[in-house]
């Protein structure tokens, strides 16, 4: 597939996995972000060489239906393939930090 066709196919793909939160800072994409920014770290497997840096994702907590958008600015070496690690502020739009892990579905927008 060409790059454009591949990207549009991937944008239609909904991933189902789990979401966690972490303290953001200097991410793998080279930006220094803060916990109040809507930041997403994707698995190292999906991150690859950084082609998804600055892409936006729409994330839904499949337990409560809450949805939020975040920007890919980091990679998560310990995440399973489809899992996302989120900044505090982004995670709190979906659940409470006390929850720790939530079931999610997400896709690139």
- The per-residue pLDDT string of the chain (109 residues; one tens digit each, 9 = 90 and over) reads 444 444 444 556 888 999 999 999 999 999 999 999 999 999 999 999 999 999 999 999 999 999 999 999 999 999 999 999 999 999 999 999 999 999 999 999 9
> How far from 91 is each of 5, 12, 31, 32, 86, CA to CA, in Å?
31, 23, 19, 18, 6
Annotate 34-102 with DSSP letters as a single string. Answer: -TTS-EEEEEHHHHTTTTTTT-EEEEEETTT--EEEEEEEEEETTS-TT-EEE-HHHHHTTS-GGG--E
Domain ranges of the chain: 15-108
What pTM was estimated for this model as a whole? 0.87
Which one-letter DSSP state was computed for residue 1? -
Q: Are 8 and 108 in contact (CB under 8 A)?
A: no
CATH number for domain 15-108, candidates 2.30.30.230, 1.10.443.10, 2.40.40.10, 3.60.20.10: 2.40.40.10
């Amino acid at each position: 597939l060409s790059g454009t066709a591949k990207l549009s196919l991937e944008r239609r793909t909904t991933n189902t996995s789990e979401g966690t939160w972490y303290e953001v800072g200097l991410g793998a994409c080279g930006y220094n972000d803060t916990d109040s920014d809507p930041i997403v770290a994707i698995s190292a497997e999906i991150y690859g060489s950084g082609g998804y840096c600055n892409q936006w994702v729409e994330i839904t907590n499949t337990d409560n239906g809450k949805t939020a958008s975040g920007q890919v600015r980091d990679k998560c070496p310990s995440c399973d393939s489809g899992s996302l690690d989120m900044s505090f502020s982004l995670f709190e739009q979906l659940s409470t930090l006390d929850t720790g892990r939530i079931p999610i579905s997400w896709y690139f927008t």
